[in-house]
Each structure stands twice: as structure tokens, then as C-alpha cells.
Amino acid sequence: MRDSKKADRKAAIENAALELFSQLGFMKTTISLIAERAGFGTGTLYNYFKTKGDILFSIIEKRSCGYVEELDCIIKENIGFLESLMLFHDAYLNSLSLYNKVIWRECMASIFSGDAELMKSINEVDRPYLERLNILFFKFQKTGIISETADIESMIATLYDADMYAILTYLADEDMPLATLKNRLTMHAKMITS
């Protein structure tokens, strides 16, 4: 099959899945519903994706393709540590806010109920963010902003864990505005840079 036809089929599956995730939620959406909405048989869908989680994270990767480049630009900028962290947070939240809270909330519920493959996918999506955070912290360690004896891995883990807790709280609360989440992440950035 030609590459363009494969790409078209894959895009049709992703579009159908995103519509269904938004309408029914992640948990209620089945592979067979996605295949039906895309106009393919279930077997055809499995030629492209193993799970609905794979579909979701393929969509996320495509929609946030400029995200890694944005992080790289922030690292290169001649700005302070706190401002850099706040810009990192903004880039992360912009990629998160491409999808409604229901999709993320149900995705997280699947992970907490033991979906190891979905957890692996989340880790893969967040890996570039964590790698760039590491580069950013080392940049500021080289300039003396961060002590050369500081445990950067622990600092990043602490920041990331606090941020993830704030994000989960945001996803659980349908009424919490994104601005409130941004304020919490700003507090985390201020704590880690002080």
C-alpha cells in the first residue's frame, strides 16, 4: 500500500478516535467504535494501532510536534532560571490544553486502574520534557545559579511530581480554570529556584 494511503487511513482512525474520546470519553470508546467511525474493519485498525491508548498518544505526539522545539528555544534564550521554568510550564500546559479534561481524566483513571501500556505511553510523551528540563537545570548549574553540589535529578523529580499532582487536581476539578493551575505551577517554580 502506498505511504500516502497508509497515512490517510491512520489520520482517519485518529480523527474518529478523537471525536469519540470527546463525545463518549476515553473509557467508553472502544476499538470497534473507532474502526466503525473511521469506516474500517477492526482488523484494519489493528494494522495501525495495538490499543486505543496508542491512538491517543499518536494524536498527542502529532499535535504537539512544535513543543520540543519550543523547549529547545527556551533553553537557548538568555533569560533567568525562574522565567525559563515558567516558559517550560506554559509550553507543557499548552500541549495539555489541546484536549478536554474528560479525555485526560479518563486516561489517568485507566492508568491508575493498572493500564501499564498507557503509563508507558505517558512516560514516552513526557520524556522529551524531562530531558529538556535536565538540560535547562545543568545550564543554570554551569552558570552558578544552581549549586554545583545540587542533586539535579532530585530537584527535577520533586518539581515534576509537584506539577503532576497539581495537574491531576486540575483535571479532577471541572471548574478549576487553567489560570489557577498556572499559578500553582508558578509557585512550584519559585520554590525550586529560591
Across 150-161, average pLDDT: 93
DSSP 41-102: -HHHHHTT-SSHHHHHHHHHHHHTTTHHHHHHHHHHS---HHHHHHHHHHHHHHHHTTS-HH
Domain assignment present for residue 58? The answer is no
In this predicted structure, what is the pLDDT of residue 105? 78
Q: List the CATH number of the domain containing 48.
A: 1.10.10.60
The residue among 73 and 59 whose pLDDT is bigger is 73
Q: Supply the pTM of this predicted model.
A: 0.79
Domain assignment present for residue 95? The answer is yes
The residue among 13 and 53 whose pLDDT is bigger is 13
Both 182 and 97 in one domain: the answer is: yes
In this predicted structure, what is the pLDDT of residue 73? 94
In this predicted structure, what is the pLDDT of residue 111? 75
Both 170 and 113 in one domain: the answer is: yes
pLDDT digits (tens, 9 = 90+) for 112-145: 777 777 777 777 878 888 999 999 999 999 999 9
